[in-house]
Structure 1
C-alpha cells in the first residue's frame, strides 16, 4: 500500500542526489546498493522484473541485470504509518465495486459516493491527511 500512497501523492521523498542511474544486477534475490542504509526504502525504475518500491536489503527480487535507475528515498515514518492505516481501512472496506446502490428481495444498500459519483475509496477518506505531503509537479 505504501507504493500506492506515494504514487497517489506524486511524492517519493527522494533524497538529494538520490537518483543513481546505470547497470544494476539482482542476484540471489537481492541487490547491493552501497548508497542505501538498512531499512531505507528505494524505488527501481527501468527493470523488467523489479520496478517498484523495495526496502533495503531486499531479499525477494527477481534475478536480472538491467540498465535503469535506483532512487534512494527518505519516506517519513508518519507517511509509513498512514499507509498502514490506509491498508487496514482498505482491507476492511474492500475495493469499491461498480455499483453504488443495489436492491433485491427486500434488501437494499447504498455506498457513500464522492463528488464524481464514484464509491468512496481510501483516497477520499484520507484526503485531508494525505494533502500534507502531496506534490503538484515534478518527480520528487
Structure 2
C-alpha cells in the first residue's frame, strides 16, 4: 500500500491516540469502538496484521494479539499525494529501477541523474515528489 510507504517515509503517521491491550481479529475484522468509519489505523505487535488499515477492515487474518492500535487522522491531501505517487510509480517505476544509467541509439542519447552507482537515491518517487512530501515531513524521534 503506497499510503503506508509514504507515511513511513514522512515519519508522520498523523497520530491521534495509541490504544494498548489485547485485541481479537475474528472473521477477518476487528471491533475498534474508538475509530470512525473510514478512519485509518495502524496495528503494531500483531503476528499477521501489522500495518496500516482503514476502518472497518474486513481483510485481516484471524488472531488474538497483545499490542497497540494507533488511531490516525491522515489528511485527505496526503491520501491524494499517495495516490499521485502510486500513479507515477506505475508509469515510471520500471525505468527508475533500471540498472542502466545511460543509453544511446540512432543519434539519440540520455543519461539518468544519479547520486551513486544505482541512481535510486535521486530518481525515485521520493525525489519526484520531494516538494509535496516536505510539507508533511516530521523530524525523526518526534513520534513513536
* Matched pairs, number: 138
Unaligned runs of 5+ in 1: none
Alpha-carbon offset, residue 106 of structure 1: 6.2
Alpha-carbon offset, residue 107 of structure 1: 9.1
Alpha-carbon offset, residue 14 of structure 1: 0.4
Aligned-partner Cα distance in 1 for 2:112–2:143 = 33
What's the secondary structure of 1:83's corresponding residue? helix
Aligned-partner Cα distance in 1 for 2:107–2:20 = 57
Aligned-partner Cα distance in 1 for 2:114–2:138 = 22
Indicate if the aligned counterparts of 2:11 and 2:137 stay in contact, CA closer than 8 A.
yes
Instruction: Report the counterpart of residue 112 of structure 1 in structure 2.
Output: 112
Alpha-carbon offset, residue 111 of structure 1: 5.2
Unaligned runs of 5+ in 2: none
Aligned-partner Cα distance in 1 for 2:111–2:78 = 27
Indicate if the aligned counterparts of 1:100 and 1:113 stay in contact, CA closer than 8 A.
no
Instruction: Report the counterpart of residue 97 of structure 2 in structure 1.
Output: 97
Bigger mean CA offset, 107-116 vs 68-77: 107-116
Aligned-partner Cα distance in 2 for 1:131–1:104 = 35
What's the secondary structure of 1:133's corresponding residue? coil
Aligned-partner Cα distance in 2 for 1:35–1:10 = 23
Relative contact order higher in (CA < 8 Å, ≥ 6 apart): 1
Aligned-partner Cα distance in 2 for 1:8–1:52 = 14
- List per-residue Cα deviations over 1:72-96 (Å, max 9, x = no partner): 0000000000100000000000143
TM-score, with length taken from structure 1? 0.89
Alpha-carbon offset, residue 101 of structure 1: 2.3
RMSD over aligned Cα atoms: 2.1
Instruction: Report the counterpart of residue 60 of structure 2 in structure 1.
Output: 61
TM-score, with length taken from structure 2? 0.86
Instruction: Report the counterpart of residue 73 of structure 1 in structure 2.
Output: 72
